[in-house]
Structure formats: C-alpha cells, structure tokens
C-alpha cells in the first residue's frame, strides 16, 4: 500500500511539473526510432539506434512546418566496471533537413559515465556525458547530466505485457561557440515490456533552451521507440 501511494505521488508530481512548464505555446516535434543492443560478454555490449525527427510546428512565423527535420544513426560501445558502473564511447551521424535544397550534417563523438544510486527504495539512473559536435556550419562542446527513474505500474516487478512509468530530467550546457547555452529537458513517459528483451516506449519531453539569456525557446518533443535487446 505504501509503495503504491509513493508511486501515485510520483506520477502526479511529474505530470504537474510537465504541465507547469508548458504554459507558453511551444514548437512541436515527433521522433520515431529503433534501438538494438547486443551483449557481447559479461563486460562488453554495443548499441545501434536509428531515428528521424519530424517537425510539426516551427518557432518563428513564415517557416515551413510538417517536414522531416533530421535523420540520425548512433552507435555506442559500453564497458561495465565493478559495481555496475559503465563507461561508453559513442558516435553519431546526422543529416539535417535532408529533403530540403539546403541541408546540413553533423558528426558527434560522445564519452559517457553511467551509474545507479538508491534513494527511498528507488533505483535512480545517472548519466554524465561530454560531446563534441562537428557540424557543417559550426563546432561546439556539450556537458550533459541526466537523472532518471522507471518502475512497473503493476506489482513490484515488471513482467511481459505489463506497463512501466518513466521520469527523467537532464541539463545540457553548450560552449565553444558564439555564446554559451544552458538547456533543461524534462521527460515523462510510459512503456510496455512486450516480451523479454523487447519493449516499446512513448515519451513526452519538454525542452527549454537558452536559459541563461533573455530569450528562451520551448519545444515539446514526442518520442516513440522500439527497443530490442539480445
């Protein structure tokens, strides 16, 4: 009973926080994707993912809506340390506005350290990332920190055909560019374990960018992802 009450409070809190941020009219995006993870041995694993972002509305007036914003492919190699801590090295290639007359590209290299902490009976995921973004028009470095939690909505453990809840918040700081930028990304979503090693997630993310300047952009990001693990 106590566990159910705590989870209910958590659910109300994250939805209230999300709605509280979404008072201004935001720009809308939808990103479907596929993610595949292969475990090589007890220490090594790799991940390959493909996604494409669709622009539903734009920030400014007079710009084209309902178009493909980008396509990207990501790969990560991960080594598990003692205590379950993980070190990862990743590479991403992205095409920007691929179907427009003027398109762009981005190469991204990522170093990541991930670990689990326990708080109030919940396992919280922590991720620190450093990214080097090499674009067709610019270069920048980003520091990212994310904390997340997910738990089953039916019982204490997650079984096939059951649903689970996801909550996450991430800070993203960009530098080595014309001006530094700070962005906050708050996410809430629901997933379903289809069968062992396969799950589907739907996530709504509220992004506030350029928080350290006088002008702030707000974006609502919808993500639908199918995960396949071996």
* pLDDT of 156: 84
Low-confidence residues in the chain, pLDDT < 50: 1-2, 4-6, 9, 13, 16-17, 19-22
Q: What is the pLDDT of residues 35-86, one digit of tens each?
A: 999 999 999 999 999 999 999 987 665 566 788 999 999 999 999 999 999 9
* pLDDT of 47: 98
Residue of 121, 185, 114, 184 whose CA lies nearest to 151? 121
* Residue ranges covered by each domain of the chain: 2-229
**2-229 has CATH 2.40.128 classification:** yes
* pLDDT of 16: 46
First to last CA, the chain: 35
* pLDDT of 64: 65
Measured between alpha carbons, how far is 141 from 216 in angstroms, rounded to an integer?
20
- Backbone dihedral region of 153: left (phi > 0), alpha (psi from -120 to 50 degrees) or beta? alpha
Measured between alpha carbons, how far is 100 from 71 in angstroms, rounded to an integer?
13
* pLDDT of 186: 96
* pLDDT of 210: 80
Secondary structure, 3-state, the chain: CHHHHHHHHHHHHHHHHHHHHCCCCCEEEEEEEEEEEEECCCCEEEEEEEEEEEECCCCCCCCCCCEEEEEEEEEEEEEECHHHCEEEEEEEEEEECCCCCCCEEEEEEEEEEEEEEEECCEEEEEEEEEEEEEECCCEEEEEEEEEEEEEECCCCCCCCCCEEEEEEEEEEEEECCCCCEEEEEEEEEEEEEEECCEEEEEEEEEEEECCCCCCCEEEEEEEEEEEEEC
- 228 - beta bridge partners? 36, 198
Q: What are phi and psi of 107, to 5 degrees?
A: -105, 135
């Amino acid at each position: 009973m106590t566990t159910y009450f705590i989870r209910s409070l958590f659910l109300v809190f994250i939805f209230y926080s999300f709605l509280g941020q979404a008072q201004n009219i935001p720009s809308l995006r939808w990103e479907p994707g596929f993610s595949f993870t292969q475990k090589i041995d007890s220490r090594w694993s790799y991940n390959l993912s493909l996604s494409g972002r669709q622009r539903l509305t734009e920030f400014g007036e007079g710009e084209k809506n309902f178009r493909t914003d980008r396509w990207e492919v990501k790969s990560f190699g991960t080594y598990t340390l003692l205590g379950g801590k993980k070190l990862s090295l990743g590479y991403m290639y992205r095409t920007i506005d691929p179907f427009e007359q003027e398109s762009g590209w981005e190469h991204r290299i990522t170093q990541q350290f991930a670990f689990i902490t326990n708080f109030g009976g919940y396992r919280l995921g922590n991720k620190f990332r450093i990214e080097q973004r090499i674009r067709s028009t610019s270069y920048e470095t980003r520091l990212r920190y994310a904390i997340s939690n997910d738990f089953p909505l039916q019982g204490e453990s997650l079984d096939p055909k059951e649903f689970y809840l996801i909550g996450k918040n991430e800070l993203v700081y960009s530098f080595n560019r014309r001006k530094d930028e700070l962005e906050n990304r708050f996410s809430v979503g629901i997933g379903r374990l289809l069968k062992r090693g396969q799950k589907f997630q739907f996530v709504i993310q509220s992004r506030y960018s350029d928080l350290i300047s006088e002008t702030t952009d707000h974006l609502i990001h919808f993500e639908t992802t199918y995960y396949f693990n071996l």
